[in-house]
Chain A
């Protein structure tokens, strides 16, 4: 967790290091990689921790100030003022639309999720239909270690994504105090 603690405000590059995952997720990630190797393909974990600041920056790019202001007000109304402050503090950002999740709304922000892609013939097989066997085997590994595979989701399947807990949005599942405690414990909330 040392490198997680080092990821304070200001770091904006999403991590792909297993060290940045919480211990349980890190252990599971190791096991999933190992089993994928055993059944005949490599697994590339390309995203683990994405700090709330980085999530805020990704969220702000492509959105108007009016949308951001609404989001900030909505977060404050629900008692997530400390998350709203992060969204406010990162300032204006530009770039393409890449996410629907605001800061704190993805399990990546807590180090409890990763995104991975199977490697087929030395190349990442991004298309599920071109490497269905490998993707399904990866999903089965994730299930077997007791985690949630987003390829099983019915509304919006996200084959690379795996997370420790159920549910897509932590802010809808946990109270503000619990969220604050989770982020603080992992050194992701500097306040």
Chain B
């Protein structure tokens, strides 16, 4: 049990950096204790786990160790197979393999960038939610009290409406419209916030993509601990990856040769 408990700091460190592992950590708490995790931050999760009996902590560590190792292995693999492969390598691959790598490069993004892309697409989801709440309001008009929470959607995402300001100081509505919408008086509060945030979001995505390209361009063989020992420090990135790939291909072609006989 003690070796497992000794791994906890390493696991917590990984959990605090990777949102997927944080979610897995919460699921694992439920698996181990039978109760839902109430943690909303990695620090809370750490406290929650450290508050468990030692046996349950050890179980949690046992499961999470495997998840963290899997995550690391997957990322190392992606680093080799996707992140730092250039035309020297793809040129040596079959068309199928190169297409697969191109597809993976397009679909493999860090969590933040993925979330930002969802954010950009958020208005489209909003239209669906708006439709649903409109349907609810129109179908269940007789159930006024229970529908109040649904109507709050209107206050956030709906157009500003003077009816919302009954009893407020005269001119309050106009001031609010001016404050949030400025000259775009027809725009909603949420719409304005969204439009204002887009340049930042796009900026971050573009910066990430740029840094990624720079990272690929300047990759070193020492970035690949799993091959560094075999390939030697003097080899270039392309050679290290190439030798890794072609070594595998050699054995595979030998296997195919044997079965093809």
- Chain A residues close to B by CB (< 8 Å): 35, 38-40, 62, 64, 66-67, 96-97, 127-130, 132-134, 136-137, 140-141, 144, 156
Q: Is B247 an interface residue (CB 8 A)?
A: yes
Residues in A neighbouring B256, C-beta threshold 8 A: 140, 144
Interfacial chain B residues near A35, Cβ < 8 Å: 255, 258-259
Q: Which B residues fall within an 8 A CB radius of A?
A: 4, 31-32, 34, 58-59, 62-63, 70, 73, 76-77, 80, 226, 244, 247-248, 250-252, 254-256, 258-259
Residues of chain A within 8 A of B32, CB atoms compared: 62, 97
Q: Whole-angstrom distance between the alpha carbons of A30 and B259 in the complex?
A: 14
In the complex, the answer to whether B59 meets A39 with C-beta atoms within 8 Å is no
Residues of A within 8 Å of B76, CB to CB, are 129
Distance to closest chain A CB from B213 (angstroms): 24
Q: Least Cβ distance of A33 to chain B in Å?
A: 13
- Which residue of chain B is the closest to A159 with respect to CB atoms? B73
In the bound complex, what is the Cα–Cα distance between A141 and B34 (angstroms)?
42
CB within 8 Å for A62 and B59 given contacts A39-B258, A127-B73: yes
Option from B34, B58, B73, B251 in Cβ contact (under 8 Å) with A39: B251
Given contacts A64-B34, A66-B34, A128-B73, contact A137 B251 (CB under 8 A): yes
Assuming the A-B contacts A127-B73, A144-B259, are A137 and B34 also in contact, with contact meaning beta carbons closer than 8 angstroms in the complex? no
Partner of B254 from the list A67, A127, A132, A137 (CB cut-off 8 Å) is: A137
Query: Whole-angstrom distance between the alpha carbons of A8 and B156 in the complex?
Result: 66
Chain B residues contacting A128 (CB-CB under 8 Å) are 73, 77
Contact with A129, one of B31, B226, B247, B259 (Cβ below 8 angstroms): B226
* Chain A residues with CB under 8 A of B250: 133
A132 to B244, CA, bound (A): 8
CA separation between A66 and B31, bound complex, in Å? 11
Whether the Cβ atoms of A132 and B248 lie closer than 8 Å is yes
Name the distance in Å between A158's Cβ and chain B's nearest Cβ: 10
In the assembled complex, the Cα of A97 lies from the Cα of B59 at a distance in Å of: 6
User: Which of the listed residues B62, B226, B255 has the most CB atoms from chain A within 10 Å of its own CB?
Assistant: B255
> CA A136 – CA B251 in complex, angstroms?
8
Nearest neighbor of B245 in chain A, beta-carbon distance: A132
Find chain B residues with CB under 8 A from A132 CB. Answer: 244, 247-248
Q: Provide 7 A-B residue pairs closer than 8 Å at the C-beta atoms, listed in order of the A residue.
A: A35-B255, A35-B259, A96-B4, A97-B62, A129-B226, A140-B255, A144-B259
Give 4 nearest A-B pairs by CB, closest first.
Answer: A137-B251, A129-B226, A133-B248, A144-B259
With A35-B259, A97-B31, A137-B248 given, can you name 8 additional A-B contacts, CB distance below 8 Å? A39-B251, A39-B258, A62-B62, A97-B59, A130-B226, A137-B251, A137-B252, A140-B255
Contact A96 B58 (CB under 8 A): yes
In the complex, what distance in Å separates the CA atom of A128 from the CA atom of B73? Answer: 8
